[in-house]
Amino acid sequence: MSYQRSPLSNKERFWAKVNRRGPNECWPWTGAHDRRGYGHFSCRAEDNEPTRSSVAHRLAYEWSIGPIPSGLAIDHLCRNPPCCNPTHLEAVTIRENVRRAHAATNATHCPKGHEFTPENIYRKASHPGRICKTCSHEYAREHQREYRRQGRDTANRSRWSPEQWERRREQDRESQRRKRAARTPAQREAMRQYQRERYLRNQATAIEYARRKRAEKSRLGQ
Ligand SMILES: [Zn+2]
Ligand SMILES: [Zn+2]
């Protein structure tokens, strides 16, 4: 089976992934998105424009309203990251965008729509505002699954198991062997030459260092 390139244009592919509901409602992005809920879209090379990857709501703004003045951020008036409704988007300075985000702490729901009840809130000194418990638990579970899939220790997830280290060392040795075997005689000679030079350089440095040490010693001894 061969890969069939979609005959649709970038804009057609893009809008097909936006759930365009009522004109005043949010238009959620249904394609790939990041952890914060912002949609992502890859534009193919088209009409002398190179390939590029962009955040969905920025493309929605560009294609419905116009180019985004350089240095400006696109703010969601609805505070709903996946929303691509151009009437909910406004180009503002980064400073204004951050100010609004902080002012929005009276939101009643997290970006994924879980309600901010007292039981569903974490607070952390290192994190501004409230953290959705449901979301962070989901995220943790997702990670646990991923770690288990990789055969890693879920209790000490930052640590590798001895088998993992052994596997990694074996991979390293294997790639070293492959690299060594792939070298031509000229490359091998160049490598030897380089090592010889490095050895001599290091030796010269060591001799110089020892000489200075001796000079220092005799100067202090006087
Ligand atoms: Zn919206
Ligand atoms: Zn949530």
Ligand 2 centre and the CA of 54: distance in Å? 24
Rounded CA-CA distance 188/119 in Å is 66
Counting ligands in written order, the one closest to the CA of 35 is: 2
> What's the confidence (pLDDT) of residue 154?
64
Ligand 1 centre and the CA of 67: distance in Å? 20
Ligand 1 centre and the CA of 55: distance in Å? 15
pTM comes to 0.47
Ligand 2 centre and the CA of 208: distance in Å? 63
Counting ligands in written order, the one closest to the CA of 37 is: 2
Pick the residue with more confidence: 156 or 191?
A: 191
> What's the confidence (pLDDT) of residue 100?
81
Average pLDDT of the residues of the chain = 86
Counting ligands in written order, the one closest to the CA of 109 is: 2
> What's the confidence (pLDDT) of residue 158?
62
Ligand 1 centre and the CA of 144: distance in Å? 32
Rounded CA-CA distance 190/147 in Å is 43
Say if residue 77's pLDDT is above 90: no
Ligand 2 centre and the CA of 140: distance in Å? 13
Ligand 1 centre and the CA of 59: distance in Å? 15
Say if residue 147's pLDDT is above 80: no
Q: How many CB atoms lie within 10 A of CB 89?
A: 21
Pick the residue with more confidence: 103 or 185?
A: 185
> What's the confidence (pLDDT) of residue 102?
72
> What's the confidence (pLDDT) of residue 3?
62
In this predicted model, what pLDDT tens digit does every residue of 3-43 receive, in sequence order?
Answer: 667 778 899 999 999 999 888 888 999 999 888 889 999 98
